[in-house]
Copies of this chain bind each other. A is one copy, B any other.
Amino acid sequence: MSTRNSSDLVQVLRTRSAVRQYTAQPVDDDALDRLLDAILAAPTGGNKQAWAFVAVRDPRTLRLLRAFSPGIIEPPPLVVVACFDRSRAVKDDGEFWDEGLLCVAMAVQNLLLAAHALGLGGCPAASFRRHAARTLLGLPEHLEPLLMVPVGYPKRPLASPPRRNRVEVVSYEFWGNHTLARR
């Protein structure tokens, strides 16, 4: 990767912020395609790809999804429902492989970054009625809806809420050590 790519990426990462209110502008097919490409390029432990995604733009389905998702504040033009595929989340020894959940979250982060780079925004919601989502979307038993991600064009300028002081969150070599041994 070039330095240009690297500083552009850092800019995308830093300027991304949660978007909860959207204009009426739809997310067109090209944009949706790019978002899906980004999702599917996420890391996946053991290449299991224990995930599934439903992209919803139908106004009636969106209205219903929102009705049982308190985390979706204003009507978005698109919701991507990110699911964990439990049928693929099994280790070689037959044990359950919970880490697959983390890969779904990484895929959602790819989606949010691609959205931001396209001038869109979103905010994942984990609080919604699982059973209602399942029924509405016809999800089979093995797919567990994990995050609803509303996406749309931001109605207001992005705001960055204050972050914890870095020294509270990052240590070097062992916990509580804030002295970087220069290398």
A interface, CB within 8 angstroms of B: 1, 4-6, 8-16, 18, 26-29, 32, 34, 36-38, 40-43, 45, 47, 49, 51-58, 61, 99, 101-106, 108-110, 112-114, 116-119, 123-124, 126, 136-140, 143, 146-147, 161-164, 166, 169-176, 180-183
Q: 4 new A-B pairs (CB below 8 Å) besides A9-B117, A13-B110, A42-B109?
A: A14-B37, A40-B170, A52-B169, A99-B126
Determine how many copies of this chain the complex contains: 2
Are the C-beta atoms of A183 and B29 separated by less than 8 Å?
yes
Q: What's the least CB distance linking A183 to chain B, in Å? A: 5
- A161 and B45 CA atoms in complex are apart in Å by 11
* A56 and chain B: residue at smallest CB distance: B173
Q: How far is the CB of A151 from chain B (nearest CB, A)?
A: 13
A172, B119: Cα distance in complex, Å: 22
Q: Bound state CA distance, A21 and B93, in angstroms? A: 26
Q: How far is the CA of A13 from the CA of B183 in the complex (A)?
A: 28
Q: Check if A9 sits within 8 Å of B175, measured CB to CB.
A: no
Q: Report B-chain residues with C-beta under 8 Å of the C-beta of A52.
A: 169-171, 175
| Inter-subunit contact A169/B49 (CB<8 Å) | yes
Q: Are A147 and B102 in contact (CB under 8 A)?
A: yes
A43 touches B112 (CB 8 A): yes
- Top 6 A-B residue pairs of the complex, sorted by shortest distance between their CB atoms: A105-B105, A102-B105, A106-B109, A99-B126, A6-B117, A9-B117
Decide if A171 touches B53 in the complex (CB within 8 Å).
Answer: yes
> Considering the chains assembled together, what is the distance between the CA atoms of A123 and B109 in angstroms?
16
The chain B residue with its CB closest to the CB of A8 is B8
Contact assessment for B41 and A170 in the assembled complex, using a CB-CB cutoff below 8 Å: no
Given contact pairs A12-B1, A13-B114, A103-B105, A173 touches B43 in the complex (Cβ within 8 A): no
